[in-house]
Every structure is written in C-alpha cells, then in structure tokens.
Homo-oligomer: A and B are copies of this chain.
C-alpha cells in the first residue's frame, strides 16, 4: 500500500497548514484517485523560501563531491521507489508503463550525469590571470574568477514529464548542481508522483548531510502559490516547462520585482519540419512514417512534437501527401494527461477544422477512455497560413498541419517568418541541402536545435544538447533546459583580486588541487601554477 500524506515538504519537515484540498485524478478513467492533498498557504511558501535562503549559505560552500553524493543519492532513492512510483505515476498521468519506466531512467541518468560533472569540476569555468607587479604604467593585479550559484531557485514541474521535467527533473538537477537550493511547485496533474519523488529528495538530503531547506516542494495553484514563490525576495531564479501563458506571466512578475530575476521558461513551440524536393520524392515513405510517429508519440504531448510540415509543390508532392495520409491514418491516440489538456486539444482541432481552406487530411484511431484524443492531420496552403497565424501556433497534442508552398522562395519566406522554436527539422538529400543552404542559415536563427533527416521528438540528455530557442519558444534563448550546460542558468561569475590562496575556492588555488581545466593567462590547461 502506497502511503501519500498530501502535505508540503518544507526542508526536512512535512506541513499541512492550509484548509484548501484537492484530489489527484485518473485521466484515463476520468475519475478522482484516493490521494488527497492540502494546498500550501502563503505562510508555508514564505517559510520554504526562508529555509532555502538559510540553506544556501551552507549548500553553496559544499564541495563538488558532496553535491555529487547528494545527486547520486537522489537518483538511488528514486530507483528504490521501484514499482510503486511507476504505478502511481501511470495512474495519475495515463502514460504507459514503458514510457514512465523510460522516463525514470532518464531522470536518474540526468542526476548521475550532473553528479559526474560536479566530480570532474571543470564546469566552474575557472579563469586565472597572474599578477605582473612590474608592469608599467600600472602593475597588473592577480585576478581569478569562477561561476557560483545565484541563490534559491523556484522550479515549476511540467504536466507532460512527471519525472524528467518535474520534481527531480532537469531544472532541479541543474540548480542543485549549481549550488542552489530548490523549491518545486509540483504540478497538480501528478501530485502523488511528486510526493514520492519529493520525499526521495528529502531522504537523500538527510542521508548526505545537506542543510535543512536545500529542497522543498509545495502543492497548490501556480497563479497563487507559484506567484508567491516567484515574488519572494530570497528567490533568485525561476525554471519552468509549461505553457506560453504560464511562462510569460511568471516572466512579467519576475521582471517587475523590486529585484528582477531571470525566468527560464520553456514554453514549447510548433517545431516546423521542412521536407525538401528530392527527399520528398526519394524518401516519401520513410518521412511519412517518421513524421506520423513523431506527431503522435505519447499522444503528441511533447514540447518537441512537430506541429507544422512545409513542403513544396512539384514532382511527387501529391504522392507524398497521399503517403502521409496513409501513414497518419494508421496512428492511434490515447488518454491525455488532464481533462483541461484534452478539452484544449479538442477545441483547437475543431477550430482548425472549421477554417476555410484548411482540409482535414487524416485522423488516427481514438482508443477508448475518458479523455482519449484522436490524432488529427490538416493540410493547407502557404497563403492560408499567412492569413491565419494561429495555424502556426502549438496545439498541445497529436495534431499537425501540412503546408504546401508554391515555390522555393515561398518556402524560404515561410522560414523567415517563423518565430522562435525549440527545434527546426529539415529532410533533404545532400543535393537538397546544397540547394537550400540558405534555409539552414535561416533556421539556425529560429531554433535551439536543427535536426537533419530525423524527427525532433526525443531530446538526448548530453553535454551538447540545446533544448531552448528564441522567444517565444522560451523566455531566455541564451540557455538550454536539457543537458549539462543547463547548470549555467543558475550561476553567475565572481572574481577575486589579490585574494590570498587560503581564501580562494580550490578551483582557483595555484596548486589546482581538484585538477580542473582552467584558463590561465589565456591558455586552457590543467597545470598547477
């Protein structure tokens, strides 16, 4: 029997001061679950922030090894939750067991990857300029810099990744790695999953001697308790994966604080796919299959799900369309994550279908259940897209729009008119790519990741990943929310002038006791000085 307390996790305590309660929900059956939760009060939110601020003073000084032990312990505690976590998570999200198991693996691997980064230590970007006391006209001082955590971070869990982008997800892992305490506002679509994971983090913090307050987790409404957290003066940055509305609202609140703070909101996008002429002729079947699978994977509930496909009128275009139609009709939908997501999806699909000059090209099978969505594929022309800009916007779910452009110039113009996206995909032979080099140059200004002859769903957690992109895909296109470079979202550089060695962080001491890479007088080296 899985025990769910339904309380706030505030540092090493569990509290439930509020009176407002909610239940978690089984979206596949459309019925409430037995798990009941108390929404956090303003006082609890403030307490979590104060604890985080105190904890920061201790946690920021923890060594890379100590923080690595903490992250590894979180990974281990999540692993030890075993089937209970999978079961609860499946019930709350209607996502299939294999998907949740995969996501658990990803979450654990992500934590362990950051732990390795911390143990290796070079992430701090240590830079040293040695003194030249004899320099004229003025002596050169000794200057040494590195990155340090900004302070406590608010993380908003995403509905669509109940593990990998939620309580112990990418934002939490990168903030903790950076040396920042974390307060998670758990998504109300999977609060029991959140509690299991949150308690795993709490246990890991205690077993590795981390300070009380290094992690807290609150239940409640984003617009109430989330806003309260973002406004709290102790909080120094915000991470969110969610809707444009939620992300932009938090961005505005954070910008209007007495002390503005950065908001890293990954708000999704429609991830355009461009199919170039030769590839369209030669690889119609492979592209159609891959595209249909990518649109409908996980009932289309991925921020990288491709919502637009551009191709060019010409030889083979009608065959390509009929091939896509055939492939898409083989797809199957499924239960969506929440009732609201389901309603929003069906409304958007109906609105698309009602537009003049937009044709419903294909629908997939629905499956049976409460909030089961059918995949829907639309078809239109470039002109229609211009006069209906909403067609270019993300529909969260298994829907996509195939857009036929008349000419190469029209295709390039469509690319130029794109707003910011997380990804942009091009299918082309070498001959196509040579003929459309300009398209690649445009797209790399529009997206964080350019995908060639593959599909954007599936975001590899690694050192080189950029999961981000220009606004409005995110509120801050200068960073990534996936991969190890995400650590820099929660850091700032600080430098020390003429600081005696004992008071320098070890990464900056002459002896290089941690053996990290350092930029010494302009040369990268692991040498000591």
Residues of A with Cβ closer than 8 Å to B?
57, 60-61, 102, 116, 120, 122, 127-129, 137-138, 140-141, 143-145, 148, 150-151, 251-252, 255, 259-260, 262, 420, 430, 433-434, 437, 440-441, 444-445, 447-454, 458, 460, 462-466, 468, 470-472, 475-480, 485, 491-500, 502-503, 517, 519, 521-522, 524
Contact = CB atoms under 8 A, between A and B. Distances in A.
Contact of A460 (B143, B441, B464, B477): B143
B493 A480 contact: yes
Contact of A464 (B128, B420, B448, B462): B128
Contacts of A497: 449-452, 454
B57 A441 contact: yes
Contacts of A478: 150, 262, 491-493
A494 B473 CA distance: 13
A452 B145 contact: no
> Which has the most chain B C-beta neighbours within 10 Å: A61, A260, A440?
A260
Given A129-B462, A445-B151, A500 B430 contact: yes
Contacts of A502: 430, 433-434
Contact of A519 (B138, B445, B464): B464
Contact of A465 (B143, B150, B492, B524): B143
A498 B127 contact: no
A98 to B, nearest CB: 9
A472 B524 contact: no
Contact of A485 (B259, B470, B479, B493): B493
Given A463-B522, A465-B143, A495 B450 contact: yes
B452 A496 contact: yes
Given A452-B496, A468-B493, 7 more contacts: A143-B465, A262-B476, A433-B502, A452-B497, A452-B498, A464-B495, A465-B495
B472 A259 contact: yes
A471 B449 CA distance: 32
Contacts of A57: 441
Most buried by B among A460, A495, A503: A495
Contacts of A453: 498
19 contacts: A122-B524, A140-B462, A141-B460, A148-B444, A252-B255, A259-B471, A430-B500, A437-B503, A449-B494, A449-B495, A449-B496, A449-B497, A450-B496, A451-B497, A452-B497, A454-B498, A463-B521, A463-B522, A479-B492
B127 A463 contact: yes
B495 A127 contact: no
Contacts of A447: 494
A267 B437 CA distance: 42
A502 to B, nearest CB: 8
Contacts of A252: 255
